[in-house]
């Protein structure tokens, strides 16, 4: 699969380039910790923990960030501290800070209603399925061709429960499945960093 190289909107470099920028989406604060909508944040925290990193605020960035080495590559990790629906504000600044001028080097991890709870899928571009965090990123970068790691959270029991569902904490069974999915999403980032996105897709996009 050939990935089209495209400079993100406003991506003039202001910092030392990272080989990969990995952003885990979620809402900040204890109120939202452990909710389904924070599945991406859980995965990026898992990555930081396993590679000796510590996500923390840095001056000028609306995100908790750190840098780690994976397979000899410099990988920047980030959990935006804007709310989910305005994630693009943080991602735009992160892209500039870490010198991401090629969307193959931006990986966004997020929750996905259209996948069963606990399933992990890697994709490049594609539809956003109404995910407001992804829409915000699209609007700021003026592109959707970044790499995405989708963590399934399943559908709510009724359409009317949508917003409350994603902002709720899962049942004990779903919580275990989502914890395993966060680890698997972290595994997928490691494969992307070392072997590339095509290998990650062939490894993780199996039923």
Paired tokens of 195: 């072997």
Tokens representing residue 69 in the block: 């080495």
Instruction: Show the tokens assigned to 105.
Output: 């080097």
Tokens of 120: 């992990």
**Both ends of the chain: CA-CA distance in Å?**
20
Q: Does 37 qualify as catalytic in the annotation?
A: yes
Which residue of the set 37, 110, 131, 140 is catalytic?
A: 37
The answer to whether 121 and 204 have CB atoms below 8 angstroms apart is yes
| 162-191: b (≥16 Cβ within 10 Å) or e | eeebbeeebeeebeebbbebbbbbbbbbbb
Active-site residues: which are they?
37
């Amino acid at each position: 699969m050939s990935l089209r190289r495209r400079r993100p909107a406003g991506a003039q470099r202001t910092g030392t380039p990272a080989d990969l920028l990995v952003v885990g989406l979620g809402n900040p604060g204890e109120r939202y910790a452990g909710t389904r909508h924070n599945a991406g944040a859980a995965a990026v925290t898992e990555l930081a923990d396993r590679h000796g990193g510590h996500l923390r605020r840095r001056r000028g960035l609306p995100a908790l960030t750190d840098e780690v080495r994976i397979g000899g590559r410099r990988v920047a990790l980030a959990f935006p501290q804007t709310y989910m629906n305005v994630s693009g504000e943080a991602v735009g600044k992160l892209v500039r800070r870490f010198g991401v001028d090629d969307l193959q080097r931006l990986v966004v991890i997020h929750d996905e209603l259209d996948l069963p709870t606990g399933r992990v899928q890697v994709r490049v571009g594609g539809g956003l399925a109404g995910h407001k965090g992804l829409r915000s990123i699209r609007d700021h970068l003026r592109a959707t061709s970044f790499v995405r790691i989708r963590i399934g959270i399943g559908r709510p029991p009724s359409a009317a429960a949508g917003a409350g569902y994603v902002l709720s904490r899962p049942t004990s069974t779903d919580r275990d499945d989502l914890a395993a999915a966060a680890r698997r999403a972290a595994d997928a980032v490691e494969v992307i960093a070392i072997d590339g996105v095509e290998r990650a897709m062939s490894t993780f996009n199996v039923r």
